[in-house]
Structure 1
Amino acid sequence: MPERSTATLTPLATPEPAVSFDSQGFFAGARAIIPIALGDAVYGLVFGVLAGQVHLSVLEVLLMSGLVFAGSSQLIVLSLWTLPLPVAAIILTTLIVNARSILMGAAISPWFLRLSPFKAYATLFFLTDENWALTMSKFDAGQNNAAFLLGSGLMLYLFWTTSTVIGRTVGNMIVQDPARWGLDFAFTAVFLALLVPLWKGKSYLVPWLVAAGVAVLAAHFLPGKWYILLGGLAGSIVGVLRHAD
């Protein structure tokens, strides 16, 4: 009678799906993002016009859009743009506004950690809310082509930088009196529009109210533009604490 093996059988590990990075994914991403890129270009035109109102040059607008590539941060920085520049407030506000990129990067890390460092980090420069969401939907559907993020991000980058430069170049030629065209209200209008897609239900109301309350108090009692930083920080902290519960 043959001896029974006492070895313990171990289940075979499920192989992780391969991640590709090729021109097919790149151009698929570039095509998919065009409708969103057109919408971002509208904000870019507004940014360019407003940048002219705080006396940024065309080159400065190009460098800010090309190196920062973060629309909400750039618009906030314009509202802080006074001489002498509040460098600390600008840096801290930018960090807070873009802190969500840490979470987005963590979400796509299972796929991007399997790319070479050059491909991964070069692609992540073009990470935005919009192309992150599209790319994650592709990954969830089993379409693991990481170049989709690069193609969609590069398309957004081109639309954004081009539209901001056009807005800065043409804006001052057309708009001599910003208040006449309502552009003195443009900052407020743009940020109200940006809030709409961020509303996810009543659970978001408390952080928003705290942010607004702190900002109003800071604007009343503190000089300069610190109310922007303090309001954003207060709202972020409350949001984190609520999710921690």
Structure 2
Amino acid sequence: MHDRKKRQQELIAGFTANLVVAASVGTYGSVLGLLAAQKGLSWYQLLIMNLSVFAGSAQFVMVDMWFPPLPIAEITLAVLVINMRYLLIGASLSPLFHKTSLGGKMAFMHLVADENWAITMARFHKETISPWFLLGGGLCVQAAWCTGTLLGHGLGAVITEPERYGLDFSFVAVFTALVFSFWKGRSDLLPWLTAAAVAVGSELLLPGKWYIICGGIAGALVAACLSNKGQQETP
């Protein structure tokens, strides 16, 4: 009974903590809804996509490639490439899942988005939390995402140029603010600069979204090397 109450508290705490980004997630989702309506997707097709895929950048690519006959193989490959970053996200969450079964990890990871992952990790560095905090955040983000996309779909005939109002930049602005909450000091400077430089170079040289993976791996490797060096120098 005590464990059940604690899980409920963690769930509510995670949901509440992510309310700060819910409005921005909904706004970002409304842009997808607008584009989906322009491509001829029905509201229930969009809802099914939200519940099954639940990955903003991948869904934007899917909608952009939504031309009959649907290029299923190309869409699947594009989504897999874009979502490869979740391999890194999943690895970063391993300390949170150390007592969770494989089935539980799969269930929790389905509702992991960039926003609730960032907020969960920021809280994890400050206090002890469980995967239920992550799940609560995922439910909050998904509710905001579904609401925003469906509202945007309904307003698709009204707002024909979402970029004119800067709605296409809302996600970038929110996540940039979240990322800077991880700044711990000068020791983070080299990994961050390395990740940024590799990402920019990869974006210029490679097609698609490979710059996300390349930048993330490069930054992680530099951070790991610096960490090992520091441990070796410690007497």
Give 1:211's aligned amino acid: E
Give me the whole-angstrom Cα distance separating, in 1, the residues matched to 2:67 and 2:155.
23
Q: CA 1:52 to 1:95, structure 2 compared with 1: closer, same or farther past 3 Å? A: same
Q: CA 1:145 to 1:192, structure 2 compared with 1: closer, same or farther past 3 Å? A: closer
Q: CA 1:194 to 1:80, structure 2 compared with 1: closer, same or farther past 3 Å? A: farther
Counterpart selection for 1:190 from 164, 168, 176? 168
Counterpart selection for 2:7 from 22, 31, 35? 22
Counterpart selection for 1:61 from 30, 40, 46? 46
Counterpart selection for 1:145 from 122, 130, 138? 130
CA radius of gyration, larger in: 1
CA contact (8 A) 2:28 2:171 kept: no
CA shift for structure 1 position 120: 3.0
Q: Deviations over 1:31-80 (max 9, x none)?
A: 11001111100011111011011111111111111111111111122222
Q: CA 1:205 to 1:58, structure 2 compared with 1: closer, same or farther past 3 Å? A: same
Q: CA 1:93 to 1:242, structure 2 compared with 1: closer, same or farther past 3 Å? A: same
Give me the whole-angstrom Cα distance separating, in 2, the residues matched to 1:107 and 1:202.
19
2:193 aligned with 1:208, yes or no? no
CA contact (8 A) 1:113 1:120 kept: no
1:66-81 to 2 correspondences below 5 Å:
66-81=51-66
1:201-240 to 2 correspondences below 5 Å:
201=193, 204-212=196-204, 214=206, 230-233=207-210, 235-236=211-212, 238-239=214-215
For structure 1, which segment, 99-108 or 79-88, has the greater mean C-alpha deviation from structure 2 after superposition?
A: 79-88
Question: Where does the alignment leave 5 or more consecutive residues of structure 2 unmatched?
Answer: 181-191, 223-235
Q: How many pairs were matched up?
A: 203
1:126-145 to 2 correspondences below 5 Å:
126-145=111-130
CA contact (8 A) 1:21 1:146 kept: no
CA contact (8 A) 2:84 2:213 kept: no
Aligned to 1:112, the other structure's residue is in SS state coil
Please, what is the CA RMSD of the aligned residues?
3.0
Identity value in percent? 32
Give me the whole-angstrom Cα distance separating, in 1, the residues matched to 2:143 and 2:217.
37
1:75-154 to 2 correspondences below 5 Å:
75-154=60-139
Question: Where does the alignment leave 5 or more consecutive residues of structure 1 unmatched?
Answer: 1-19, 215-229
Residue of structure 2 equivalent to 1:155: 140
Give me the whole-angstrom Cα distance separating, in 2, the residues matched to 1:241 and 1:143.
27
Aligned to 1:115, the other structure's residue is in SS state coil
Q: CA 1:38 to 1:90, structure 2 compared with 1: closer, same or farther past 3 Å? A: same
